[in-house]
């Protein structure tokens, strides 16, 4: 992958946004590698992601940032410029189920997702050995009904200590305190084991079995204080039949969960996901 900068912006829609942004880049001889735009009619809002070859520019990211500020102000943009060569730092939170963790670690080792994984935190010891085989620090933070606030304080401390910018709940099975959700807006990814908004809450495979659905699914979403109601990043489903019992749904669902979480995380890491109200724009 070429060294590149990603310009991510959204603003009220009007004439000239693309032109101004593109003109700024071209004026500095910048080579645009990718450009995606979206206009939301209802809210008259504009979204854009432009990837520029870093080596084609005569300056670095700081100069880019300061120079672009004038345009950004003119159009009242929410914006950021991201250096693709600086990998995001992803803290993984897990419980005892290994399928998502194992899948992510293999993708990370194979460089199929570009990030650093500074630590894995778990409320159980089961997966320590696997994580440590990959050379990643593993921290055990038991979470009980009694110690929950302290436990999450400790987890947040670790996240801060490791300077993680992204948190992935890889089947963590614990409800985060609202304060933690609010602290990391659009930075905590969860994989919910149902096709949301179906089967919100506990034991979704049991609910799916009871309702007799013919497809089960999984949903990767950003965590907000409204449990299972955060903005959806990706979803997928798999066919099941009357002969699949709850334990079969659990097993079959794992394949969807791990693939959807990995896809959602990859989009997040590549700054392809923008959040607007409670929905996402995902530039593929």
Residues that bind a second copy (CB under 8 A): 15-16, 18-20, 22-23, 25-26, 29-39, 41, 56, 97-99, 102-103, 105-107, 109-110, 112, 129-130, 133, 195-199, 211-215, 217, 231-237, 241-243, 245, 251, 254-255, 259, 262, 278-282, 284
* Catalytic center residues: 228
| Shortest reach from residue 157's CB to a second copy, in Å | 29
Distance CA 272, CA 182 (A): 22
Number of alpha carbons in the 13 Å side-chain half-sphere of residue 120: 28
| Shortest reach from residue 61's CB to a second copy, in Å | 19
| Shortest reach from residue 88's CB to a second copy, in Å | 18
Of the pair 154, 186, the CB lying nearest a second copy is at: 186
| Shortest reach from residue 20's CB to a second copy, in Å | 8
Distance CA 108, CA 89 (A): 12
Helices vs strands, H then E, count in the chain: 8, 13
Of the pair 83, 236, the CB lying nearest a second copy is at: 236
Of the pair 156, 237, the CB lying nearest a second copy is at: 237
Detail the DSSP E strand segments found in the chain: 4-12, 32-40, 45-53, 78-83, 88-94, 115-122, 138-140, 166-169, 188-192, 215-222, 232-239, 273-276, 279-282
């Amino acid at each position: 992958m070429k060294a590149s900068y990603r310009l991510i912006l959204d603003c009220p829609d009007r004439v000239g946004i693309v032109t101004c942004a593109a003109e700024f880049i071209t004026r500095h001889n910048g080579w645009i590698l990718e450009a995606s735009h979206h206009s939301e009619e209802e809210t008259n809002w504009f979204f854009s992601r432009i990837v520029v070859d870093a080596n084609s520019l005569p300056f670095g990211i700081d100069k880019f940032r300061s120079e672009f500020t004038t345009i950004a102000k003119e159009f009242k943009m929410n914006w950021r410029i991201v250096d693709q060569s600086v990998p995001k730092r992803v803290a993984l939170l897990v419980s005892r189920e290994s399928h998502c963790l194992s899948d992510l670690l293999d993708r990370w080792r194979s460089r199929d997702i570009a990030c650093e994984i500074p630590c894995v935190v778990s409320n159980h010891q089961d997966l320590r050995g696997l994580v440590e085989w990959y050379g990643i620090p593993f921290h055990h933070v038991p979470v009980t009904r009694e110690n929950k606030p302290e436990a999450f304080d400790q987890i947040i401390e670790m996240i801060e200590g490791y300077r993680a910018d992204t948190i992935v709940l890889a089947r963590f099975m614990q409800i985060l305190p609202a304060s933690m959700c609010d602290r990391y807006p659009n930075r905590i990814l969860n994989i919910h084991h149902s096709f949301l908004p179906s089967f919100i809450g506990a034991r979704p495979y049991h609910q799916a079995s009871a309702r007799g659905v013919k497809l089960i699914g999984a949903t990767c979403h950003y965590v907000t204080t409204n449990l299972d109601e955060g903005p959806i990043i990706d979803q997928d489903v798999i066919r099941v039949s009357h002969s699949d019992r709850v334990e079969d749904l659990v097993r079959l669902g794992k394949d969807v969960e791990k693939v959807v979480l990995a896809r959602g995380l990859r989009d997040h890491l590549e700054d392809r996901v923008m959040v607007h109200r409670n929905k996402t724009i995902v530039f593929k």
